[in-house]
Amino acid sequence: MTTMLDVTDITPRACCAPLVREPLTAEEAEQLAATMKALADPTRLRLLSIVAASEDSEACVCDLIEPVGLSQPTVSHHLKILTAAGFLTRSKRGTWAYFRLVPGALDRVSQLLVAS
Amino acid sequence: MTTMLDVTDITPRACCAPLVREPLTAEEAEQLAATMKALADPTRLRLLSIVAASEDSEACVCDLIEPVGLSQPTVSHHLKILTAAGFLTRSKRGTWAYFRLVPGALDRVSQLLVAS
């Protein structure tokens, strides 16, 4: 049985034009900055890229500890931030938590940065 | 006369595949996180979007203060970070500094986040 936990309530901004086309409002800038902050950490970028490059874009937390060379609590902390920001979903199977890339989440951020 | 100052030595990562295609190395993740940190601030995102949406993608610092409602030193501090990160170039004409969007800088970051 798969139980979804930590369902995100902060999803990357799906609205709005690319930021080069028209000035962001203060509220839009706050939202986008919060999303960017989740990405602006080298460990989180590595974890995200490992999960994304895994089969079915999913990885067990047990397979994420060794590649980044950090403790399990530290890795779990970073995964929680990526989950809260809407980039990953978390499910638990047996002893381990599994993390999966949310389809389209990175693309939405990408589209806000492009010139057209 | 236009004098270019603060020529950037940190340009957004031009190499490498999108992060979802293959895991980032530690060094790649450090570089990309540094670039993301420059963007992960609501004031900097607003300044960048105002410059980008201006005629010729250029704006005088004198026209950036009122829209964000901060002091000139604070605005200049944020513009310096965006310039150091390779998103803006700075030139001085008379009393004022002008900031221009670096063509392609945001696109390079955008391309690292897309799925394909």
Amino acid B97: pLDDT? 95
Residue B12 has pLDDT above 90, yes or no: no
CA A7 to chain centre: 12
Within-domain flag for A18: no
Residue A9 has pLDDT above 80, yes or no: no
Residue A98 has pLDDT above 90, yes or no: yes
Within-domain flag for A60: yes
Within-domain flag for B53: yes
Residue-wise pLDDT for B21-74, tens only, equals 889 999 999 999 999 999 999 999 999 999 999 999 999 999 999 999 999 999
Residue-wise pLDDT for B75-92, tens only, equals 999 999 999 999 999 999
Average pLDDT, chain A: 86
Query: Which runs of consecutive H residues, i.e. helices, occur in chain A?
Result: 26-39, 42-53, 65-68, 72-84, 105-113
Contact B42/A at CB under 8 A:
yes
Of A32, A46, A111, the CB nearest to B29: A46
Within-domain flag for B1: no
Contact A17/B at CB under 8 A:
no
Amino acid A35: pLDDT? 94
Residues 6+ apart with CB under 8 A from B91: B2, B3, B4, B5, B97, B98, B100
Give the whole-angstrom CA distance, residue A68 versus residue B44.
30
Residue A5 has pLDDT above 80, yes or no: no
Residue A18 has pLDDT above 60, yes or no: yes
Within-domain flag for B4: no
Q: Which domain holds residue A101?
A: 3-13+25-113
Residue-wise pLDDT for A28-68, tens only, equals 999 999 999 999 999 999 999 999 999 999 999 999 999 99
Number of domains in chain B: 1
A107 contacts B113? CB cut-off 8 A: yes
Within-domain flag for A19: no
Q: Per-residue confidence at A115, pLDDT binned at 50, 70, 90?
A: low
Name which of A57, A65, A67 is nearest A99 in CA terms: A57
A20 contacts B101? CB cut-off 8 A: yes
Across B13-29, b (16+ Cβ under 10 Å) vs e yields beebebbbeebbeeebb
Average pLDDT, chain B: 86
Can you give the CATH number for the domain in which B48 is found? 1.10.10.10
Amino acid B101: pLDDT? 96
CA distance A51 to chain B (A): 8
User: Residue B115: its chain A contacts at CB < 8 A?
Assistant: 106-107
- The residue among B113 and B7 whose pLDDT is bigger is B113
Residues 6+ apart with CB under 8 A from B25: none
Nearest CA in chain B to A36: B40
Within-domain flag for A20: no
Within-domain flag for B82: yes
